[in-house]
Structure 1
Amino acid sequence: MSVPEPTKLLIVDDLPENLRALDALIRDEQRTVYQASSGEEALSLMLEHEFALAILDVQMPGMDGFELAELMRATSRTRNIPIVFVSAAGRELNYAFKGYESGAVDFLHKPLDPDAVRSKVKVFVTLDQQRGEMRRQLQALERSRREQEVLVRELNETQAELQRSLRMRDEFMSLVAHELRTPLNTLFLETQMRSLQLKRGNLPAFNPEQMGTMIKRDERQIKSMIRLIDDMLDVSRMKSGTLSIRPAKVELMPLLERVVSDLSLAAAAAGCNVVLAPHAPVTGFWDEFRIEQVVVNLLTNALRYGVGGGPVEVSVHEDGCHVRIDVADHGKGIAPDYLERIFEPYERGAKSGEPKGLGLGLYISRQLATSHGGQLTVRSVPGEGATFSLLLPCTEAALKAVAPA
């Protein structure tokens, strides 16, 4: 518990000997006594300090005690200071009545009774200390109320985040089941068809050409499941800080040419083509597998959501010791309030029909860009397509600066 500050008292008298006598009478360790020899000096002190009591001499040259009291009652800062008048004039002048009319709480006649003065001062000091303690308690209650409001707000936010996490978990499990069920069903149906053909002895159905087609279909379905599982594993590694980056010298243009070629059939199925703008050779120090993973994610995303009658364009731009890979589409674009959300895990773009995938591609891609000391950003105008930009440092030193020890 904090120690209360000393109570401040003000005594006003034009005679120094009266001030010294009254000061000696009421001062103690828990009180600070201020002296003023005129009304003007007293008002100046009242503007600087908060007093528990003002003891005013009635008869003073210039501004007397009654005039000082009237000024005090007219000012909001001093209005509530208790006033005790002191006078050496006889009782027959009826000063006490005038003093009470001026707002005094008591009126003392000289010569002063020391015990009476000490007793009266003690009452006002006690009242001031009680008011101070009540004020401190109210302040403490107000602080506690504000802290509780903050805690309640944080609790509500935590609860909302927990509910969101639970929804995301349920949605994620549903997505995983859906995405794995499709290739598994295809494989299962293929297996049943082959078993049926074998039971019927229809060996021509397994000629080299038919067998090659079956194997390719099987490979596509298996790769689809492997990619889903790899994405989930990558997210888990990223969140646990165990994702490994294996940098080495990489030639960028052959990597991009290979990815564009591999996705040409998917682009044709989507009704467009992928165009790689020519560029001089670019060499960097990256994890080739991870950079290819990012580019594949960006192109797959563009083919899925950005097809709008024009090609998907891949271009390379050098800026000092950095290289930027742009993947631009001519689709419907992305709403401004959605530009950052698409990089969150399990967020999937909205379009007609059921979007495929777990909504992890862009999240993983941005994390991989960051792991290389780079950035993955997007700019888009609704109705005019979107451009994803992968910015990477080319030097080994830049990568080592962000790589875990």
Structure 2
Amino acid sequence: MILIVDDRPENIIALRRILEKHQFEVDSALSGEEALKKVLKNNYDLIILDVQMPGLDGFEVAESISGYSKTKDIPIIFLSAVNVNKQFISKGYASGGRDYLIKPFDPDVLVLKVKTFIKLYEQTCALQNMQQVLVEEIEFRKQAERTKDEFITMASHELKTPLTSIKGYMQMVDRSVDRDLKEDAKKYLERTRQQLEKLNILIDDLLDTSKIASGKLEFKNRVYEIDPIIDNAVDIIRQTFPSHSIIKTGEAGAKVYGDQIRIEQVILNYLTNAIKYSPFSTEILFDVSLLSCDEVMINVTDSGIGIPKDKQEQLFTKFYRVEESSNRFQGLGMGLYICAEIIKRHHGRYGVDSEPGKGSSFYFTLPVYHNQEQTLKS
């Protein structure tokens, strides 16, 4: 759009006819003050500006337009029948004008210059946009590199921790065997097994995250009763953590369609997290319910450290760990991210309700299987 600024309506009408004849969209202002208001409100490709006007003259308007970051590149063509001396023409260019035409002017020359300046302006805008995109892409590459470096450092630390423990426990086993202390040897072997299990979980998480990123995380879907899967996962946790009490309430009494191993993986992750982040509590609540016959909801509640409100939305993102707990608890920050991806693939919902110092309640839902159409949609 072209903005014509002139205090004489007859001049605006004449210019409008010339420009609209060549399919240009035209707007107008009868004063410098009105022009500045319109320039800040609307987007213009070019401004045709009269020099001699009451109030703000053309030079003052041009200087103001050139001073705004949003409008500084808009081409300005001055038109004047009075200020035709060299000093005024020079002032026009100095105040930000691209050209200075003397009245009367050749309409064809004006149109040619308008087309040229608009094309140059469009190219300038395109280059600026490309530059901005490149800057954003470079910053994204830099951020990705920083994230990668941080992850490698974190992963190295987390993987070394159980490996160091395993090495230490195996040395203790050797000493116990040499001294014929069988009970001590069994104790250290059990601790070694626990550290190996931690290491296995870390490696599995790394592999699953890699598969998610490449779209290769496999799902073997079928229709099955959900309650036996839930009970099996709870039993695994009870056996693995005999010091903790898993209090289960409710049942689904429903079928779901999906990968039962992956669903069990989510339940195990929720439960182990509840135990991990509840160092001063040995009781975990596990509730199963049926919502309106359409969804199975599983809710795992602990009495642990809790999570600040502003950190809860990020819990299910890749590599995220709450700063307050990252130095106290092991992990790569991938477990809940993997859970979220599995639940999304099953068309379920997930979330958390938590308050610092009062524990957390993590939940997820699965659609109840009603007919074969659901299997086709999946």
TM-score by length of 2: 0.65
Q: Give the CA deviation at 1:337.
A: 3.4
Answer with 306-315 or 210-219: which moved more: 306-315
* Aligned pairs for 1:2-401 within 5 A: 47=13, 50-51=16-17, 126=106, 128-197=107-176, 200=178, 202=179, 204-206=180-182, 209-264=183-238, 273-279=245-251, 281-305=253-277, 311-319=283-291, 320-331=293-304, 333-352=306-325, 353-380=327-354, 385-395=359-369, 397-401=373-377
What SS does the corresponding residue of 1:293 show, helix, strand or coil? helix
Q: Give the CA deviation at 1:373.
A: 2.1
Q: Give the CA deviation at 1:276.
A: 1.7
Structure 1 equivalent of residue 54 of structure 2? none
Q: Give the CA deviation at 1:385.
A: 4.1
Deviations 1:69-108 (A, max 9, x none): xxx99xx99996xxxxxxxxxxxxxxxxxxxxxx989xxx
Change (3 A) 1:246 1:304: same
Change (3 A) 1:338 1:246: same
User: 2:222 touches 2:259 (CA, 8 Å); kept in 1?
Assistant: yes
Structure 1 equivalent of residue 68 of structure 2? none
> 1:327 is aligned with what amino acid?
V
Deviations 1:363-391 (A, max 9, x none): 10010011112222234455654432212
Q: Give the CA deviation at 1:332.
A: 5.0
Change (3 A) 1:250 1:220: farther
Change (3 A) 1:153 1:334: farther
Deviations 1:17-49 (A, max 9, x none): xxxxxxxxxxxxxxxxxxxxxxxxxx8997597
What SS does the corresponding residue of 1:342 show, helix, strand or coil? coil
Alpha-carbon distance in structure 2 between the residues aligned to 1:398 and 1:385 = 36
Change (3 A) 1:371 1:150: same
Change (3 A) 1:139 1:282: same
Q: Give the CA deviation at 1:362.
A: 0.9
Structure 2 equivalent of residue 13 of structure 1? none
Change (3 A) 1:276 1:232: same
User: 1:323 touches 1:392 (CA, 8 Å); kept in 2?
Assistant: yes
What SS does the corresponding residue of 2:287 show, helix, strand or coil? strand
Change (3 A) 1:310 1:45: farther
> 1:289 is aligned with what amino acid?
I
Change (3 A) 1:145 1:308: farther
Alpha-carbon distance in structure 2 between the residues aligned to 1:220 and 1:351 = 25
Change (3 A) 1:397 1:366: farther
Change (3 A) 1:139 1:297: farther
Q: Give the CA deviation at 1:262.
A: 3.3
Alpha-carbon distance in structure 1 between the residues aligned to 2:285 and 2:131 = 50
TM-score by length of 1: 0.61
Alpha-carbon distance in structure 1 between the residues aligned to 2:152 and 2:356 = 31
Change (3 A) 1:174 1:381: same
> 1:398 is aligned with what amino acid?
Q
Deviations 1:314-362 (A, max 9, x none): 2222233321212233445433432332211110123354331100011
Change (3 A) 1:104 1:281: closer
Answer with 44-53 or 386-395: which moved more: 44-53
Structure 2 equivalent of residue 4 of structure 1? none
Q: Give the CA deviation at 1:124.
A: 5.4
- The structure number with the bigger radius of gyration is 1
What SS does the corresponding residue of 1:351 show, helix, strand or coil? helix
Change (3 A) 1:304 1:158: farther
Deviations 1:279-318 (A, max 9, x none): 3533323212111111122222333346686943222222
Change (3 A) 1:46 1:360: closer
User: 1:334 touches 1:381 (CA, 8 Å); kept in 2?
Assistant: yes
Q: Give the CA deviation at 1:275.
A: 2.4
Q: Give the CA deviation at 1:166.
A: 1.5
Alpha-carbon distance in structure 1 between the residues aligned to 2:145 and 2:49 = 60
> 1:137 is aligned with what amino acid?
T
Structure 2 equivalent of residue 112 of structure 1? none
Q: Give the CA deviation at 1:205.
A: 2.0
Alpha-carbon distance in structure 2 between the residues aligned to 1:152 and 1:129 = 35
User: 2:275 touches 2:282 (CA, 8 Å); kept in 1?
Assistant: no
Change (3 A) 1:398 1:307: farther
> 1:371 is aligned with what amino acid?
R
Alpha-carbon distance in structure 2 between the residues aligned to 1:281 and 1:197 = 51
Alpha-carbon distance in structure 1 between the residues aligned to 2:201 and 2:194 = 10
Identity of aligned residues (%): 26
Unpaired runs of 5+ in structure 2? 1-8, 20-29, 36-47, 51-79, 83-102
User: 1:317 touches 1:323 (CA, 8 Å); kept in 2?
Assistant: yes
What SS does the corresponding residue of 1:355 show, helix, strand or coil? coil
Answer with 131-140 or 219-228: which moved more: 131-140
